[in-house]
Chains A and B, each alone.
Chain A
């Protein structure tokens, strides 16, 4: 089971600002190990953020996104106490969902 994400969601004016720190190796598939064998790519492919069941951001990522990816975005609406849910799926099919309460 992958490590949990750190999610912070704060009301800013009439919007909600979401900051996410995911825990993932994000191996590029370009590097070689000590034996000269290529280390296979292992990275997050899809990220989805929802608020009250509505998708507020979805993303497709390649291996060029940094290790332990950081993501920040803002959407209109959202009130203190609402929940924001983030899901990622990597290229091995592994999946992780975490949620945070808007503060």
Chain B
């Protein structure tokens, strides 16, 4: 009898936990719209950015590639960046620019069914290494590319 009582308690406890999780789950979609990782976007170094994103140092990967990205950008205000990931279960793709005042430029969340490939345009203050950061199955991978920015007018 005692044992049964314990079992009932356990089940009850489990249910409460479940409903709590469900409640939290229900609350999220509304919040997600206004969510913005301030700490990550204000971070100045790769380490700080990774910490704010909740990850550790990324592993270099050949499965992360830049596409349609120039080696030399004439206008630092509009630098086209395209990133693809061949890693299964890619969850997000981020663009980090080493010598910008804040490294993180953008984070894209890739839900299942969406190709792990995005392209956009970013600003670069000066020639710098650009990191393509990919989160796949909870782990971080990265590729680096140096992009030279021609400043000083007359198209360099």
Using a CB–CB cutoff of 8 Å, the interface residues on chain A facing chain B are: 15, 26, 28, 30, 45-46, 48, 54-67, 69-77, 87, 89, 91
Contact = CB atoms under 8 A, between A and B. Distances in A.
B33 A46 contact: yes
Interface string B29-46: 000111111000100000
Contact of A74 (B79, B97, B115): B115
Interface of B: 32-37, 41, 77-80, 97, 100-102, 104-111, 113-115, 117-124
SS of A interface (majority): strand
B109 A57 contact: yes
Given A46-B36, A64-B102, A75 B118 contact: no
Contacts of B106: 59-62, 64-65
Nearest to A21: B121
A55 B111 contact: yes
A66 B121 contact: yes
B120 A71 contact: yes
Nearest to A55: B111
Contacts of A61: 105-107
Contacts of B114: 56-57, 73-76
